[in-house]
């Protein structure tokens, strides 16, 4: 079984010295595999296909080619999609990178395309942020706010429910840690090691349900 994980920089694992929540999932299964390589087929192969700055628009353009390049006729595919944080960007001049309506259309198009390859699909929700560090971020004249991010998160949850796709919410879990005074972000937007570990702990059980 091959698990293709699509997303942006958080999926890619930015600022986690252990490679991010996707790499933590891969490390878990790889650890099991090396105990007995003859049982390799009992565990999934994980592919991290996160690209920094990506949106649903970009993901939709690359989804088919990225999938075909990693497809083996003898192995079933599983998709994980964690995309939308960059859709919620607002530039300092007020220009929006996307809208919830466009996000919905593109998310549905991504689902339709993915279902041409597999019905095993999992959504991982959008992370919250620390607005005192993300309005604007230090690397660009763009803003991320929790209210805007959650507009898109609500759309993902609705699309997941309407299409019977399992969804892993991480927004409230991360925000709860922030409210408790814990540090789970490296720069206000990208989780640190603790933040990625939290996402891993939330995602892995749901992935296990999907692949068993």
Express each pLDDT in 113-137 by its tens digit.
999 999 999 999 999 999 999 999 9
Token pair 């005192």 in the structure block, residue: 132
From CA 53, how far away is CA 86, in angstroms rounded?
Answer: 6
14's CB contacts (< 8 A; 6+ apart) are 20, 52, 186, 190
Which class for 35: exposed (0-12), middle (13-18), buried (19 or more C-beta within 10 A)?
exposed
- Identify the structural domains of the chain with CATH numbers, from first to last: 2-211 (3.40.50.1110)
pLDDT band with cut points at 50, 70 and 90 for residue 24: very high
**% residues pLDDT > 90 (the chain):** 93
7's CB contacts (< 8 A; 6+ apart) are 49, 50, 51, 54, 59, 80, 81, 82, 83, 124
The candidate with the shortest Cα–Cα distance to 115, out of 50, 85, 159, is: 159
What is the pTM (predicted TM-score) of this model? Answer: 0.96
Instruction: Count CB-CB contacts under 10 A for residue 210.
Output: 16
Token pair 């898109």 in the structure block, residue: 152
Residue 152 clears pLDDT 90, i.e. is over it: yes
196's CB contacts (< 8 A; 6+ apart) are 13, 16, 18, 20, 21, 24
From CA 125, how far away is CA 147, in angstroms rounded?
Answer: 14
Report pLDDT for 168.
Answer: 98
Cis status, amide bond into 136, omega within 30 of 0 = yes
Report pLDDT for 42.
Answer: 79
Residue 2 clears pLDDT 90, i.e. is over it: yes
Report pLDDT for 36.
Answer: 86
Across the chain, what does the average pLDDT equal?
Answer: 96
Average pLDDT over residues 62-89: 97
Residue 43 clears pLDDT 90, i.e. is over it: no
From CA 104, how far away is CA 122, in angstroms rounded?
Answer: 16
Report pLDDT for 212.
Answer: 84
Express each pLDDT in 173-185 by its tens digit.
999 999 999 999 9
Residue 40 clears pLDDT 90, i.e. is over it: no
Give 3-state DSSP helix, strand, coil % of the chain, rounded to 5: 50, 15, 35
């Amino acid at each position: 079984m091959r698990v293709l994980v699509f997303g942006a920089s958080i999926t890619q694992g930015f600022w986690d010295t252990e490679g991010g929540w996707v790499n933590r999932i891969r490390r878990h299964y790889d650890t099991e595999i090396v105990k007995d390589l003859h049982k390799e087929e009992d565990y999934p192969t994980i592919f991290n296909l996160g690209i920094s700055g990506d949106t649903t628009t970009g993901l939709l353009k690359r989804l088919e080619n990225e999938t075909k390049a990693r497809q083996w006729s003898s192995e079933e595919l599983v998709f994980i999609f964690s995309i939308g944080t960059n859709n919620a960007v607002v530039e300092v001049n007020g220009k929006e990178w996307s809208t919830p309506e466009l996000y919905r259309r593109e998310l549905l198009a991504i689902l339709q395309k993915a279902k041409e390859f597999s019905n095993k699909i999992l959504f991982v929700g959008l992370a919250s942020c620390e607005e005192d560090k993300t309005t604007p971020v230090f690397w660009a004249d763009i803003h991320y706010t929790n209210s805007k991010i959650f507009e898109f998160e609500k759309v993902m949850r609705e699309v997941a429910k309407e299409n019977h796709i399992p969804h892993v919410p991480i927004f409230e879990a991360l925000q709860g840690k922030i409210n408790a005074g814990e540090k789970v972000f490296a720069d206000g937007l990208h989780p640190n090691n603790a933040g990625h570990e939290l996402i891993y702990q939330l995602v892995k059980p749901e992935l296990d349900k999907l692949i068993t």
